[in-house]
Structure 1
């Protein structure tokens, strides 16, 4: 089957280690779009953090799509929502309380790309997260927000060693009711149990009438495995984790070597 949709993780996949899109990557993406292939950025970022890369790739319009918050929101680039799964106020409070109990830097994101934290001493990773995603950053206790305040996801952030120590405790506390994923070395993310990149990709494929064999998915981390399981052609970046590579059919070159552009040309544009 020919590839009709390419799902791309952003960090360490689309972007180099210096957070740039290589000219070879941009060219391959634009050639794919010119052939009618849907190129869908699939990321844990909010939409505001994706928009600069959509602009660079000239992706726009109601017939192109983006998956944000690790699958909590899927929408067209004109703002038409395909699927949305938010967590309610009780979940938000529970995520915040657990972070305080475990002494983990904690923040949550609403569906409008705003970051909220109850941490008065805001960790550097939260500040970096807000800056990188062009997001508002608000320091608020749960009682300062309305009773219907809902979130797209929660996140525990910080040094890799800190999260390594805390990950099992987080999973034991939340995994029976939420989707818990190590989205990167510095992020543990919490979402609706029905949310992941794979489910979002499945929802979008249904709307576009695509079969798994027509989907190529490229990523590098544990949160990309769910979309690997949906795509007929799962591709792990050469710089990806061993876990991601174990679930892939193809290992591309690294993000700094131009591996993404090469693998798009080899498997989607041949």
Structure 2
């Protein structure tokens, strides 16, 4: 019996306009009415998740920033992870300022742009809260003015893939990296992922891995797919992502319909 549905946002529950369409809204409500619990697992910060999920206040758990923050549906912070200060500074310095637009994220949902220009502002528009301002991020990290929980780098996909490989060679066994969008590389502390965040959540809730279903579309969703036999990849996702999911769907609503049918069959048997 599936007890918890875990859904990604961008490319999954959100449409191209960054909205939840009416069919998926009805399906989520139907899942709630059937007694299922919901968790949103996203690379976005919790402040953004709260804005997106306004139609469902206090009804969902949230794994934010790819697992750096985990919150229960009563908004209690269950867990938070960030980099050691010296490592976050080294990582930022290893990302060429001229080639990539970089943002330092913190577990309190503040974030800082490395540079402020027209290009960086175009990326900030995709983030649903305004960035904080600090004139020298390297100095701030060195002096622990704030702690970094995620470093997000934007640029051309081919260049991001090369950057990802180089960072993993330069910092072996120290970081987790995910291509989370067609133009975004997320760099996380070691052992921080959606999968580790969900594992913490389900231990708190007393739910077994085979009692959850995960829905996603990107490489940062693979760690949660690995937790459960009930994994759903969006049909438009990359071949590798579809290949690691148990089921391919065209919408969250379709996945929820299959989950409810599975539960009905489980009860009948």
- After TM superposition, the score normalised by the length of structure 2 is 0.89
Q: In 2 relative to 1, CA 140–173 (structure 1 residues): closer, same or farther, beyond 3 Å?
A: farther
**2:164 aligns to what?**
167
Query: Partners of 1:25 and 1:106 in 2: how far apart?
Result: 33
**1:256 aligns to what?**
none
Match of 1:222 among 219, 234, 249: 219
Deviation at 1:173, TM superposition (A): 1.9
**1:188 aligns to what?**
185
Q: Secondary structure at 1:10's aligned position in 2?
A: coil
Is residue 2:134 matched to residue 1:136? Answer: no
Deviation at 1:154, TM superposition (A): 0.7
Deviation at 1:36, TM superposition (A): 2.1
The 8 Å contact of residues 54 and 60 in structure 1, kept in 2 or not, is answered as: no
1:1-270 mapped onto 2 (5 Å cutoff) = 2-56=1-55, 58-60=56-58, 64-100=60-96, 103-119=99-115, 121=117, 123-124=119-120, 127-129=122-124, 131-141=126-136, 142-144=138-140, 146-147=143-144, 149-253=146-250, 259-268=251-260, 270=264
The 8 Å contact of residues 88 and 148 in structure 1, kept in 2 or not, is answered as: no
| Matched length | 260
The 8 Å contact of residues 12 and 215 in structure 2, kept in 1 or not, is answered as: yes
The 8 Å contact of residues 58 and 75 in structure 2, kept in 1 or not, is answered as: no
Query: Partners of 1:37 and 1:105 in 2: how far apart?
Result: 39
RMSD between aligned alpha carbons?
2.0
Query: Partners of 2:194 and 2:154 in 1: how far apart?
Result: 20
Deviation at 1:239, TM superposition (A): 1.1
Query: Partners of 2:172 and 2:124 in 1: how far apart?
Result: 24
What runs of 5+ residues in structure 1 fail to find an aligned partner? 254-258
Q: Secondary structure at 1:24's aligned position in 2?
A: helix
Deviation at 1:206, TM superposition (A): 0.8
Query: Partners of 2:133 and 2:94 in 1: how far apart?
Result: 19
Deviation at 1:243, TM superposition (A): 1.5
Query: Partners of 2:97 and 2:172 in 1: how far apart?
Result: 17
Q: Secondary structure at 1:205's aligned position in 2?
A: helix
Query: Partners of 2:117 and 2:19 in 1: how far apart?
Result: 31
Q: In 2 relative to 1, CA 245–19 (structure 1 residues): closer, same or farther, beyond 3 Å?
A: same
